[in-house]
Structure 1
Amino acid sequence: MINSLIPDILFGFTGLISIINPVGVAFVFLDRAESLSSVERTALARRVAINSFFVLLVAFFVGTPILHFFGISMEALRIGGGLAVAVSGWKMLNAPDRRPDEAAVQQLSADDVKSKAFFPLTMPLTTGPGTIATAIALNANRTHKLSEFVMSAVASVSISVLVMFAIYLTYSRAEVFARYLGVDGTKVALRVSAFLLLCIGVQIILTGVSEFLAPLAGVRGAN
């Protein structure tokens, strides 16, 4: 059982990190925090990473009961969350490039930074519906046997910690990535990231719709 702990952690971490795509979202993060200083941006990255850690813990341990309590299906979570991601990606994709003087006018206060740390930077841009659905699915078959429950809990916490550090290290160094790419390269990377964000949102919606329609197609086929 212990021998399977590390493979479970690696499997969960790679699955979640591929969905979160912190390198791509880092340019989105940099755009949203463009007017902040390096220290403020690092603090914001830390807050987003910590928020993501707790979002994952909630999804791992109480995600399924919460959905059942509110009568929300996994399909509804995917469709609604995917729509939020797609809309955010669409707005960024069509946003005009800002000039330096415009960026200066849009300086964010400390209160603004705190208010944006959870929404939209943590949810849905970082730990969106795809991430939450994946975390819930990873523990969907969690057993009530004490030893297996403890091992599963250890794996869940370890995965959340690894994802948190990956998000922090990537977001806090987004400015370094942009410096290597230059102004034009950063604009291109931002547009590409926005387009990928739009595609991810659409894909999440399509997955939710297909999962919703699959039982209906089965019923019609049986008739």
Structure 2
Amino acid sequence: MPDWSSAAQSFVLAFSALFSIVNPIGAALVFSQVTADRTHDERVLLARRIGVYAAAMMLGALWLGAYVLEFFGVTLAALRIAGGLVVATRAWSLLMAPETIEARKQEQAGDAPLQADAAFFPLTMPFTTGPGTISVAIALGANRPPGGIGTILPFFAGVSAAALAVAATVWLAYSSADRLTGLLGEARARVVSRLAAFLMLCVGTQIALGGVIDVLRPLLAGR
């Protein structure tokens, strides 16, 4: 029987990591700027499409990314260590230099007003769910617990629900970008981003630690 109590833990772990890297609140402020020449209805439509595309990107990376890498001979322990380091490094960048990340996202989304349908490129990929988000999702998928369907199913249910929740947050934040801009402003949005980045740093460390434990377990058991 599946242990559904573990699904909540998987949800919290995945949501904190994905929310931190996507940063819907901070991204909404940029979204408001780069789509300023569009009507409110057009921005709402764009936000809905971006939310759907972002969900598809994150779910695909969560479900298939680790299996694809394993197909090429990368072990699960190596995936966890490398993925955890990627998450932690990205979190450190967000924590110490959020202005640099914001400037890069602004540049990535800069061509959006020039395109008739910019929902997927550049507003979803790479602006909302770029390589960093995909790397984090793959790392989370690689962190799946050992065992059969009773442990795998609750894990993927939890992380999938987290991806959908983050995508829904993107949809709501982008749809309400104008109100968020007036309510938060850049300073408060940066505070929220830094808090989320610290949580993400802890998540990355935990994922990498799990990989190290996987490597050391047979060595310690043989002593």
Aligned partner of 1:32 in structure 2 is 30
Alpha-carbon contact 2:27-2:128 (below 8 Å) kept: yes
SS at match of 2:34: coil
Cα distance change on mapping 1:39 and 1:81 into 2, 3 Å: farther
TM-score by length of 2: 0.61
Q: CA RMSD in A?
A: 4.6
Range that drifts further, 192-201 or 69-78: 192-201
In structure 2, distance between residues paired with 1:217 and 1:30: 44
Quote the offset at 1:76 in angstroms.
0.7
Alpha-carbon contact 1:52-1:164 (below 8 Å) kept: yes
In structure 1, distance between residues paired with 2:85 and 2:156: 30
Alpha-carbon contact 1:78-1:205 (below 8 Å) kept: yes
Consecutive unaligned residues of structure 1, counting only runs of 5 or more, are 98-105
Identify which of 67, 78, 95 aligns with 2:69. Answer: 67
Cα distance change on mapping 1:67 and 1:40 into 2, 3 Å: farther
Cα distance change on mapping 1:39 and 1:89 into 2, 3 Å: farther
Quote the offset at 1:125 in angstroms.
6.5
Residue pairs, 1:188-203, within 5 angstroms: 188-203=187-202
Aligned partner of 1:103 in structure 2 is none
Aligned partner of 1:177 in structure 2 is 180
Quote the offset at 1:170 in angstroms.
3.3
Cα distance change on mapping 1:91 and 1:164 into 2, 3 Å: same
Residue pairs, 1:1-223, within 5 angstroms: 13-21=11-19, 25-33=23-31, 34-37=33-36, 38-39=40-41, 41-70=43-72, 71=74, 73-88=79-94, 90-93=96-99, 108-111=112-115, 114-123=121-130, 129=136, 131-137=137-143, 141-143=147-149, 155=157, 159=161, 161-181=164-184, 186-214=185-213, 215=215, 219=219
Cα distance change on mapping 1:44 and 1:55 into 2, 3 Å: same
% identical equivalent positions: 17
User: Structure 1, residues 114-135: CA drift from partner, whole Å, max 9, x if none?
Assistant: 2242224113676661x54444
User: Structure 1, residues 171-206: CA drift from partner, whole Å, max 9, x if none?
Assistant: 32233233234xxxx122222133235434543453
Quote the offset at 1:81 in angstroms.
3.8
SS at match of 1:73: helix
In structure 1, distance between residues paired with 2:27 and 2:198: 18
Bigger Rg, structure 1 or 2: 1
In structure 2, distance between residues paired with 1:158 and 1:220: 34
TM-score by length of 1: 0.61
SS at match of 2:35: coil
Alpha-carbon contact 1:79-1:206 (below 8 Å) kept: yes
Aligned-partner residue type, residue 126 of structure 2? F
Consecutive unaligned residues of structure 2, counting only runs of 5 or more, are 104-109
Alpha-carbon contact 1:79-1:204 (below 8 Å) kept: no
Aligned-partner residue type, residue 54 of structure 1? A
Cα distance change on mapping 1:78 and 1:188 into 2, 3 Å: same
In structure 1, distance between residues paired with 2:135 and 2:195: 14
Cα distance change on mapping 1:47 and 1:75 into 2, 3 Å: farther
Alpha-carbon contact 1:25-1:125 (below 8 Å) kept: no
